[in-house]
Amino acid sequence: MEGLLLCFCMFCFGALASAGVFTVLSSISLVPRFAGKTRTAGEIRLYENMIILGTIWGGITSLTERPFQIGLPGWLNMPLLIVIGVFSGMFVGCIALAIAEMLDSFPIFFRRIKLKRGIAVMVFFIALGKLCGSLVYFMMK
Reported as a single tens digit per residue, the pLDDT across 57-81 is: 777 777 776 655 556 666 777 787 7
Mean pLDDT for 35-48 is 84
Show the DSSP H helices in the chain as ranges: 2-27, 30-38, 44-61, 74-103, 105-112, 119-140
130 in a structural domain: no
d(CA 96, CA 50): 19
79 in a structural domain: yes
Residue 115 has pLDDT above 80, yes or no: no
Number of domains present in the structure of the chain: 1
109 in a structural domain: no
138 in a structural domain: no
Q: What is the pLDDT of residues 10-25, one digit of tens each?
A: 888 877 777 777 777 7
What pTM was computed for the model?
0.49
pLDDT at 68: 56
Residue 124 has pLDDT above 80, yes or no: yes
63 in a structural domain: yes
pLDDT at 97: 73
127 in a structural domain: no
113 in a structural domain: no
pLDDT at 65: 65
131 in a structural domain: no
Residue span of the structural domain in which 11 resides: 2-103
pLDDT at 52: 80
d(CA 99, CA 103): 6
Mean pLDDT for 86-100 is 78
DSSP for residue 43: G
